[in-house]
Amino acid sequence: MVVTIMKIMFMTQTASDEMAFLINQYLIMTKETMPEMARKASSTWPVKHDHCFQRIVLDSVCQGVWYESIKRPAYKHLTYPQAELAVKLCNEIIAGQVDLSGLNLQSLTWRGKR
């Protein structure tokens, strides 16, 4: 019985640590990495500010306006699959594997701003 409880506690802690790691990665990429990349003279990205990257990534994850699905602040209320997808998408944006301009236009369309 004690071993089972300890195993559950360890599994919960590990899942919690993994979630914290994902959230931290998402925040670093949207608050630091992508804005730094966008400020370079060679950048053709349509946005430069951290909140814009967060909007684009979260709207893409939610397939609509993120705050209609997730409580604010989003990083505290993401589910594990949402956090995982957000990190994956950030990595794809950074690697140039997805079209940031297209994601931005879709986000703006969902918001009625395009």
pTM of the model: 0.88
Are the CB atoms for 108 and 60 separated by under 8 Å? no
- Domain residue ranges of the chain, discontinuous segments joined by +: 19-110
Residue 31 near residue 50, CB atoms below 8 Å? yes
Q: In this predicted model, what pLDDT tens digit does every residue of 7-48 receive, in sequence order?
A: 554 555 688 999 999 999 999 999 999 999 999 989 999 999
Q: Residue 22: name the closest of 106, 68, 86 by CA.
A: 86
DSSP per-residue codes, 42-101: T---S--SHHHHHHHHHHHHHTS-GGGTSPSSHHHH--HHHHHHHHHHHHHHHTT-S-HH
